[in-house]
């Protein structure tokens, strides 16, 4: 039989402290309320989502939006797959993404939910060492340039408008 149950404390009719939502006997979500707003969607709380007793998402909500540190985990291996910050419901600041082996896949920053500045993309070589595969510079979610690394060199593509390359520069 399937059923949802939430339990926790109330203070003057509002949820207070830590609340846990269960599906059957399995913990699904844990909320820790920081304020006592009567409007449920404007409350501040820390959020942890579970699958089979393992954490798959952790974050913070402020006024009903993701705001603060956020982590997401793979639903099969439970390894960390992304970590960064939200501001007013949009990705903001530095984010790190991980591959299936928990090695860093990419690192870069967001501003108001859009990729900004330098992003580094990595690959693992045969010995398991992580190497930079390419560096991409973004402005307002648009690619401005790409630097692609080969074994002993690199080349750079610079765009004067999105999608059209202006020139390619090779490292000699």
- Dihedral, 70, 71, 75, 78 alpha carbons, nearest 10: -160
Whether the pLDDT of residue 2 is over 60: the answer is no
State pLDDT tens for residues 76-97. Answer: 999 999 999 999 999 999 999 9
HSE at residue 127, side-chain half, CA atoms within 13 A, is 2
- How much is the pLDDT for 7? 74
Find how far residue 146's CA is from the centre of its chain: 23
Per-residue pLDDT at 170: 61
Residue among 52, 67, 130, 66 nearest 98 (CA): 130
For residue range 12-63, list pLDDT tens digits in order.
Answer: 777 777 878 877 677 777 777 766 555 554 567 888 998 888 999 999 988 8
User: Which of 67, 117, 74 is closest to 98 using CA atoms?
Assistant: 74
The candidate with the shortest Cα–Cα distance to 143, out of 109, 170, 122, 119, is 119
Distance of CA 3 to the CA centre of its chain: 30
CA distance 145 to 111: 18
CB 44 within 8 A of CB 61: yes
């Amino acid at each position: 039989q399937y059923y949802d149950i939430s339990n926790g404390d109330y203070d003057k009719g509002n949820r207070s402290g830590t609340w846990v939502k269960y599906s059957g006997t399995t913990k699904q979500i844990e909320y820790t309320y920081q304020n006592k707003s009567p409007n449920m969607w404007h409350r501040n709380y820390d959020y942890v989502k579970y699958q089979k007793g393992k954490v798959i998402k952790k974050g913070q909500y402020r006024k009903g939006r993701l705001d603060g540190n956020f982590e997401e985990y793979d639903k099969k291996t439970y390894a960390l797959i992304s970590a960064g910050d939200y501001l007013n419901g949009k990705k903001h600041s530095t984010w790190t993404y991980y591959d299936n082996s928990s090695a860093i896949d990419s690192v870069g920053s967001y501003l108001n939910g859009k990729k900004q500045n330098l992003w580094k993309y990595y690959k693992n070589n045969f010995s398991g060492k992580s190497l930079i595969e390419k560096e991409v510079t973004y402005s307002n979610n648009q690619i401005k340039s790409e630097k692609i690394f080969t074994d002993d060199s690199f080349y750079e593509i610079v765009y004067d408008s999105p999608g059209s390359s202006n020139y390619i520069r090779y490292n000699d």
